[in-house]
Amino acid sequence: MVSFINHSNIKKIFKIILSLKWSFIFFLLLLVTTHWFKLIHLYLELQNTCIILSCLFIFSRIKYLNFFLAFIISLILALEITYRYTSGVAISPILLDAFFTTNITYTSQVMLPYLLKSMVPFCFLLFLSIKCILEINQVNKSIYFILLAFLLIISLYGISRGYVGRHVNLKRFIPQVNPYIILKEDQLYLKRYPLLFGNLSYLMISLFSQENLELPKNRVNILNDKIDSSQQPMKVVIVIGESSTSQHYSLYGYPYTTTPELDNLYNNNELIFFKNVIAPIPSTDISLKLTLSFSDPVNLDHFFEYKNIIDMAKLAGYQTYWLSTTYEKGINASYSSLLAQSSDIFYESTMHPMLFAKDDLVLANVLKENLEFNKKQFIILHMQGSHVPYADRIDDYDTKNLNSTPEFLDYDASIFHTDRSLVKIIDALKQNNESFIFYYFSDHGEIVNIGHGIESDDISQYLIPLVVYQYKNNLNITSLINKYKSNNGYLNLSNTSYIISEILGFKVNPKLIEEAKQTGEYIITLHKEPVSNQKKSTFKLIKAQDYLK
C-alpha cells in the first residue's frame, strides 16, 4: 500500500484527473442539478448522474453519433431544467402522456415556450458534453473501460434494484395485461430519475403500453334498460371546455368581466350555473375517461367494463356526434379518442373544412350544419378553450373588449373567447326551435401561466365551471344535479354520466347514486413530496375536501 502511494503514482492519478477535467465538471454539475430536483436519497442523485454520463461514455468513440447524442442529451436536460425552474416542479406524467395521446402540433404548442427559454442552458450543456466527448477520446482504452464499467455498475444496479419485487394492483389505471404496465403506472423511474432517463423511459414505456388500447365489445349497462321518454329533450348538447378554471369567470365572481354573455343570460334567468364543481384529475384524457363513462377516481377500470355515456345515448334512441376543434388522435390511442370514435359521427380539427381554423367560434356553424329537425341528437362539442399557449386561442376582439390585468390578460381573453363561442352555440340551438339541454363544463382547471397536471397545492387546476341552459324542457335540472353532490359539498365531474343518463330518460338506482356521491368525494393528485417508498405510485387518491380546503 505504501509502495503504491508514492510520488510517481500520485502524479499519474492527478494527470488522469486533469485529462478528464471537463467530465468531472459535468459530473459535479449534474449531481448539483439532481440534488435541486429534491430526490430523497443521495444515492439516487448519484445514480441519475451516472446514467447520463454512461450514455456519453458508451457512444463517445462512435464518430458522428457521439455529437448527435450530445445534442439530444443537452436538449432534453435543458428542457427539463427550464421546466423545473419555470414551474417549480419536475415534468409530470400527465404532460408526458400528451406526447402520445394528442397530436404533435398540440404538444409542440405547449413545449415551444419552454424550448425557447432553454436555449441558454442548452448551449452551455452542449458545450460541456462536446468537451467531455473530446477528452474521453483522448484517454487510453484501459482507463476508458474502467471508468465506463464504474458508471455502468452504479447505473444498472440502480435501475434493476428499482424493478425487483414490484407487486402493485395494475388494474387501478389500465386493466389490460401488458409487460410495460408496471413501469408506466407505478412511474418508478420517473420519480427516481427526473433527469433524462426517467422521462425517456416513461415515454418509451407509454409508446408500448397503450398502443393497442380499445374498448371491449361486451361492456354491460350499469343502469336498467327502462327509459322514460316523457321529458327527453330532442337535442342534448355537451360542450367540453379546456383548462378553464371557474376562478376566472365573472359568472363565478371574478372581478373582471370575462363572461359578459353568460352573465347576461344568468341575470335574465335563462341559465343555471353550479358552484363547487371539481374535475377528478387535472388531465384531459383521464378526466374525460372518468367524466364520460361510469368509471370514477376509485374504480378506474369501470371504463372498460361498463357502457359509456355515448353508448347510453344510443340506447336512448339518439344519434351521437363528436365535433372537435382540437386533436383527438395521437400516436397511441387515448381514452378520449376511444370515446370520440365510438360516436356515430366524429369530426376533429383535421377532418372537417370548418374545423381547420381551430377556432372555437366555428363550432356553432358546424353544429348548425349537423342539426336535423325532429330527430333526437346527442352532440358533444370539444373546445380548445384556454389551453396553453393562451394567446393562440384569442383574437383582437377579445383583447380590445376585455379589461383585465397584464399578468392574466391572455388567459382571461381566452375565457372571454369561450364565452362568445358558448352563446353562439346556444343561439344556434334556439334557432332550431326544438327542445334542448345545453350542458357546459371544462375538463379541468388551470394554474394560470403555469399549467395543469403538476404537483401543486393550487386548487385552480381542479375548480371548474358547470353551466346549463334549458329550452322547451321542464326537467328540474337543479334538483337532478344537486342530488349528485357529495356530502363534502362538491360535485365531481365523475358523476356526469349518471346526470346525463337521467336527462336521457334512464332511472338510476338510489344505491348507485349513493356510491357515486361517495366516490365523488375523491380526486386524483400527484405526490408533492419525494418518493422514499418504492411501492408508492406517483398518482395519489385523496379526499377533495382535504386538498381543496
Report which of residues 215 and 277 the model is more confident about: 277
Scored b (16 or more CB within 10 A) or e, 341-366 reads bbbeebbbbeebebbeebbbbbbbeb
Range in 34-38, 276-280, 371-375 with the lowest mean pLDDT: 34-38
Of 509 and 111, the one with more pLDDT: 509
29/147 same-domain check: yes
Element (H, E) at 286: helix 284-291
Res 173: pLDDT: 40
86/171 same-domain check: yes
- CA–CA distances in Å: residue 237 to residues 29, 150, 377, 378: 54, 62, 8, 6
In whole angstroms, give the CA distance from residue 492 to residue 471: 25
Q: How crowded is residue 208: how many other Cβ atoms within 10 Å of its Cβ?
A: 15
Quote the CA–CA distance of 243 and 410 in Å, as a whole number. Answer: 13
Q: Give a yes or no: residue 214 inside a domain.
A: no
User: Is 248:258 a contact under the CB 8 Å cutoff?
Assistant: yes
**Mean pLDDT of all residues in 87-102:** 69
CATH for 450: 3.40.720.10
Contacts of 342 (CB under 8 A, 6+ apart): 215, 308, 310, 311, 320
Residue 415's pLDDT band (cuts 50, 70, 90): very high
Kindly state whether residues 174 and 266 are assigned to the same domain: no
Mean pLDDT, rounded, for 446-468: 86
Question: pLDDT tens-digit profile of 57-76?
Answer: 888 888 888 888 889 888 88
Please indicate whether residue 388 or residue 491 has the higher confidence score (pLDDT): 491
Task: Examine residue 31 and state whether it is found in any structural domain, yes or no.
Answer: yes
**Cell numbers describing residue 345:** 359521427
Q: Are 107 and 40 in a shared domain? A: yes
Which whole number is the average pLDDT over 439-448? Answer: 94
The domain of 23 spans 7-209
* H/E run at residue 407: none
Residue 543 lies in a domain: no
Task: Report pLDDT for 243.
Answer: 93
Lowest mean per-residue pLDDT among 152-161, 303-312, 321-330, 352-361: 352-361
Q: Residue written as cell 459535479?
A: 28
Residue 170: band (very low, low, confident or very high) from pLDDT cuts 50, 70, 90: very low
| 538: in domain | no
Residue 136 has pLDDT above 90, yes or no: no
Q: What would the grid cell of residue 372 be?
A: 336535423
Question: How many angstroms separate the CA atoms of 415 and 191, rounded?
Answer: 34
Residues 173 and 301 in one domain: no
The pLDDT of residue 117 is: 86
Contact call for residues 125 and 52 (beta carbons, < 8 A): no
Whether residue 174 sits in one domain with residue 128: yes
Last residue of one domain, picked from the residues 194, 209, 224:
209
Give the CA radius of gyration of the chain: 27
Q: Which has more confidence, 373 or 86?
A: 373
Whether residue 449 is predicted with pLDDT greater than 60 in this model: the reply is yes
- Same domain as 187, residue 247: no
Segment holding 252, helix H or strand E: none
Q: Positive or negative CA dihedral for 536, 298, 341, 439?
A: negative
Average pLDDT across the chain, whole number? 82
Say whether both 376 and 493 belong to one domain: yes
155 shares its domain with 292: no
Question: Is the residue at 492 inside a domain?
Answer: yes
pLDDT tens string 384-409: 899 888 888 889 999 999 989 999 99
Residues 372 and 295 placed together within one structural domain of the fold: yes
- Choose between 433 and 87: higher pLDDT: 433
* Measured distance CA(243)–CA(240) in Å, rounded: 10
54 or 435: whose pLDDT is higher?
A: 435
Helix (H) or strand (E) holding 273: strand 271-273
Which strands sit side by side in the sheet containing 277-278, from one edge to the other? 463-464, 277-278, 491-492
DSSP state of 71: H
The residue ranking higher by pLDDT, 355 or 359, is: 359
Q: What is the pLDDT of residue 101?
A: 64
Within a domain: residue 144?
Answer: yes
Label residue 75 exposed, middle or buried (CB < 10 Å: 0-12, 13-18, 19+). middle
212 vs 185, residue with greater confidence: 212
Which residues, 6 or more positions from 334, have their beta carbon under 8 angstroms from its beta carbon? 100, 101, 102, 210, 213, 285, 328
pLDDT confidence of residue 413: 96
Asked if 297 contacts 323 with a C-beta cutoff of 8 angstroms, the reply is: no
Distance, in Å, from the CA atom of 248 to the CA atom of 464, rounded to the nearest integer, reads: 10
Reported confidence tier of residue 265, pLDDT bands at 50, 70, 90: very high
- State the pLDDT at residue 201: 72
Question: CA of 282: how far to CAs of 317, 401, 524, 538, in Å?
Answer: 33, 30, 8, 14
pLDDT of res. 144: 82
Query: Residue 182 has which C-alpha cell?
Result: 408496471
Q: Give the three cell numbers for residue 202.
A: 416513461
**Picking from 88-102, 207-221, 238-252, 414-428, which range would have the lowest pLDDT averaged per residue?**
88-102
The C-alpha atoms of residue 158 and residue 166 are separated, in whole angstroms, by: 14
**Total structural domains within the chain:** 2
Q: What is the pLDDT of residue 528?
A: 44
Tell me the residue length of the chain. Answer: 549
- The answer as to whether 197 is a domain residue is yes
pLDDT of residue 351: 59
Please tell me the distance from the alpha carbon of residue 98 to that of residue 284, in angstroms, as a whole number: 9
Confidence of residue 539 (pLDDT cuts 50, 70, 90): low
Alpha carbon 364 to chain centroid, angstroms? 27
Integer Cα distance of 122 and 483 in angstroms: 54
**Beta carbons of 325 and 392 less than 8 angstroms apart:** no
The label of the residue with cell 383582437 reads 396
Question: Which contacts (CB < 8 Å, 24+ apart) does range 353-357 have?
Answer: 355/323, 355/324, 355/325, 357/325
State whether 241 and 377 are in the same domain. yes
Residues 180 and 296 occupy one common structural domain? no
Residue 221, in any domain of the structure: no
Winning range, highest mean pLDDT, from 16-20, 173-177, 323-327, 511-515:
511-515
Of 98, 91, 119, nearest in space to 194 by CA: 91
